Structure 1
Amino acid sequence: MLLELAGIEKQVGADTWLYPLDLALRESAVTVLLGATRAGKTSLMRIMAGLDAPTAGQVRVDGQDVTGVPVRRRNIAMVYQQFINYPSMTVADNIASPLRLRGQRDIRARVLEIASTLHIEEFLDRLPAELSGGQQQRVALARALAKDAPLMLLDEPLVNLDYKLREDLREELGVMFSQGRSTVVYATTEPAEALLLGGHTAVLDRGELLQYGPTIDVFRQPNSIRVARAFSDPPMNFLEARADGDALRVRGMDAPLPPGGPAVPPGAVTIGLRAADLSLRDRGEDCRISGQVQLAEISGSATYVHAQTPVGNLVAQVPGVSHHRLGEAITLHFSSRRAYVFGADESLLRAPRTEVHHGAH
């Protein structure tokens, strides 16, 4: 299915929920809608589904205007955070229901295959009410996958699951989506989820579509500070600086301009540094900043060290578990080659030329 949005906007009373946007989704591929809460992701998906009508613009499917066509007349599968299952059916029958409607053979084998991927095969004979919220969410997701609809809309479908299971399912879903025939739209607030799913990503912020393109390209070349902020977790560090010839001058520190890219006019700029590109050890980088530890936050397999420095508060992502005392003196090292440079209008002027980390951190 080729889904196109042309001039779509949504107003509710005096509030603008979606500013005018155009978006042509890649056929039989994944498009991630990435943005914080209230960015407009759910509003956009409801318009795609036919649950809501846009205030202006057209929704086209394979070139045909379907803007006014209700959801019941569209062949789509949806999973929202508020999952819905058939309460009187077993888990197996919930998953099998769309397969029976299609008259598919070997229904039991297909049900078992999907259930195994989502780690719910041991619950097939139970009723949804006997499961936890996270298990019920996976049943709803399994039923959507079984439907194999031309368009699949998934609104933060893993949000109710624990960290480890989310990590596992992200990768497995990415494989399933790449092997399927559905055009998939997947909404998330998490940059790491977008990177794991791949495909294309549309970055939304407060109802505006900021950038759309191949996920890894948007991550490597965010076209503005707003995109860089949305596509970084922990948030990208931003430093106020001045461009002066081939140098960036930051309060008491000079750094060379990262190589490549267009000329950077002299004047005020903003330097962006991902947390993973700041190190507490000297690895031969050309820049260093002294600071004091404000907080050391252990998360999964990394430690986020928050430091107060003369150029502002910075966050460094350190691999493994790293213990630090509050107020401890540290030195943060980084390479100017890893710096993003944004102009006075917050648009991207230069981005790192070398490979970036495969992760949002």
Structure 2
Amino acid sequence: MMTYAIRNLTVAEGAAIHLDGLDVELPASGVVTVIGRTLSGKTTFLKVLAGLQAVRSGSLVRDGVDLLKIPAWKRRVGMVYQQFVNYPHLNVRDNIAFPLKRAGCTPSEIAAKITYVSDLLGLGPYLDRRPAELSGGQQQRVALARALVKDTDFLLLDEPLVNLDYKLREQLRDEFRRIFRDSKDRLVVYATTEPAEAMILQGHVIILHEGKVIQTGDYRDVFHYPANTIAAQVFNDPPMNLLDGEIASGRLILGASLATPLPAHFSTLAPGRYTFGLRATDLVLGGEFSATVALAEVNGSLTVLHLDLDGRNLVLEEEGVHLFQLGDRIGFTPDSGRFYAFDGATGTLIAAPPRRSVSGQKD
């Protein structure tokens, strides 16, 4: 299968390094989600693909051709930014048609493509309106439509939902999955800070951190087997709980007030110090262990509790609305079968729990 081979890609401005020797392969088609915290290098990476960013070194090769040597105007690229951009003096129809007219498409070709993409994105009723007459979500769909109608090899989306409200984000995430699911003729590269978007879009994932590739692979593999503590926190929301502890006397000890029987998947680990990880969803309310509520958040139908456990922060996520006050003492129980073990010095993954699907069944 043909791929884009990125080798030793470095972008720097003086002493500031934005991308640091990236070595990664991208599929020729499908969806790749680039995920990382703010200032991880996501936007810079997309700008390199688009030809809008100079590089200090490296190559981007497909079929023997280094695309970094091809100017931006010759690359077949469509791009949608987090700040959507439309032509304010043109109606939706003409906004979508703009790149098609510049490409020399015939009127019948333009009309057919506008009909297709407007039906796909639900823009049919708004074709004669100008951007000022549209909602934020509709304007973002116009920008996406203009990128989709172009005959491109790359479709680059830089946090396109970040400025929309919760309901619109949820709606457009589902639409993106439907639109991109069968992307066989182009590569969609989607940059985000949110793990939920990568899980919804599925496909391939690249985790960036401080300009370096931390992990890459199928989204399920990255979720189940984070390469290290950085990946475990970046690719989970809330970030995975990380607690220093030890294995001793057949038990997992995480401090004076939290110890559990040793999980079966840790049976081959030598006694000693480790960093242990546990997702917020693998802690449940009620049980023999207790902690103090430091912060309580209700997010839709979920309650997220930040707990103080002997001076260490622990995050618990529970379905339903549960009302707690700052300083409340609550009981909780960790699912000991879902702990991860990382090397305490390097952060590298050492042991992971058995893989399971969202429904709780092994896959």
TM-score, normalised with respect to structure 2: 0.90
The answer as to whether partners of 2:40 and 2:209 remain within 8 angstroms in 1 is yes
Paired amino acid for 1:234: P
| Corresponding residue number in structure 1 for 2:197 | 193
Relative to structure 2, which stretch is displaced further, 75-84 or 211-220? 75-84
What do the CA deviations read for 1:6-37 (whole angstroms, capped 9, x no partner)? 11011111111111111111121111000011
Return the alpha-carbon distance in structure 1 between the equivalents of residues 359 and 116 of structure 2. 29
**Identical aligned pairs, as a percentage?**
44
**Cα deviation, residue 258, structure 1:** 3.1
- The partner residue of 1:274 within 273, 276, 279 is 279
Matched, 1:340 2:330: no
| Corresponding residue number in structure 2 for 1:294 | 294
Residues 131, 196 of structure 1: alpha-carbon distance in 2 compared, 3 angstrom cutoff:
same
Q: How does 1:85-234 map to 2 (within 5 A)?
A: 85-99=86-100, 101=103, 102-103=105-106, 105=108, 107-108=110-111, 110-180=113-183, 181-234=185-238
**Cα deviation, residue 325, structure 1:** 2.4
| Corresponding residue number in structure 1 for 2:314 | 314
Which sections of structure 2, spanning at least 5 residues, go unmatched? none
The count of corresponding residues between Structure 1 and Structure 2 is 354
Paired amino acid for 1:316: L
Which sections of structure 1, spanning at least 5 residues, go unmatched? 283-287
**Cα deviation, residue 125, structure 1:** 0.8
Return the alpha-carbon distance in structure 2 between the equivalents of residues 210 and 2 of structure 1. 20
Matched, 1:28 2:29: yes
**Cα deviation, residue 115, structure 1:** 3.1
Report the secondary structure of 2:207's partner residue: strand
| Corresponding residue number in structure 2 for 1:3 | 4
The answer as to whether partners of 2:8 and 2:23 remain within 8 angstroms in 1 is yes
The answer as to whether partners of 1:337 and 1:352 remain within 8 angstroms in 2 is yes
Relative to structure 2, which stretch is displaced further, 140-149 or 107-116? 107-116
Return the alpha-carbon distance in structure 2 between the equivalents of residues 167 and 77 of structure 1. 23
The answer as to whether partners of 1:241 and 1:268 remain within 8 angstroms in 2 is yes
Residues 237, 49 of structure 1: alpha-carbon distance in 2 compared, 3 angstrom cutoff:
same
| Corresponding residue number in structure 1 for 2:75 | 74
Return the alpha-carbon distance in structure 2 between the equivalents of residues 75 and 187 of structure 1. 19
**Cα deviation, residue 49, structure 1:** 1.1
The answer as to whether partners of 2:226 and 2:232 remain within 8 angstroms in 1 is yes
Return the alpha-carbon distance in structure 1 between the equivalents of residues 107 and 207 of structure 2. 37
Relative to structure 2, which stretch is displaced further, 221-230 or 348-357? 348-357
**Cα deviation, residue 112, structure 1:** 4.2
The answer as to whether partners of 2:83 and 2:163 remain within 8 angstroms in 1 is no
**Cα deviation, residue 120, structure 1:** 3.6
Return the alpha-carbon distance in structure 2 between the equivalents of residues 215 and 305 of structure 1. 27
**Cα deviation, residue 67, structure 1:** 1.3
Return the alpha-carbon distance in structure 1 between the equivalents of residues 115 and 172 of structure 2. 16
| Corresponding residue number in structure 2 for 1:265 | 270
Report the secondary structure of 1:165's partner residue: helix
Residues 90, 265 of structure 1: alpha-carbon distance in 2 compared, 3 angstrom cutoff:
same
**Cα deviation, residue 349, structure 1:** 0.9
| Corresponding residue number in structure 2 for 1:285 | none
| Corresponding residue number in structure 2 for 1:62 | 63
Residues 251, 55 of structure 1: alpha-carbon distance in 2 compared, 3 angstrom cutoff:
same
- The partner residue of 1:251 within 234, 255, 258 is 255
**Cα deviation, residue 113, structure 1:** 4.3
**Cα deviation, residue 108, structure 1:** 4.3
Return the alpha-carbon distance in structure 1 between the equivalents of residues 107 and 350 of structure 2. 54
Return the alpha-carbon distance in structure 2 between the equivalents of residues 341 and 139 of structure 1. 46
The answer as to whether partners of 2:30 and 2:182 remain within 8 angstroms in 1 is no
**Cα deviation, residue 104, structure 1:** 7.9
Return the alpha-carbon distance in structure 2 between the equivalents of residues 108 and 332 of structure 1. 60
Residues 58, 104 of structure 1: alpha-carbon distance in 2 compared, 3 angstrom cutoff:
farther
Return the alpha-carbon distance in structure 2 between the equivalents of residues 149 and 206 of structure 1. 29
Paired amino acid for 1:260: H
Paired amino acid for 1:209: V
Paired amino acid for 2:35: L
**Cα deviation, residue 171, structure 1:** 1.8
Relative to structure 2, which stretch is displaced further, 157-166 or 246-255? 246-255
TM-score, normalised with respect to structure 1: 0.91
**Cα deviation, residue 260, structure 1:** 3.3
Return the alpha-carbon distance in structure 1 between the equivalents of residues 89 and 335 of structure 2. 60
Report the secondary structure of 2:149's partner residue: helix
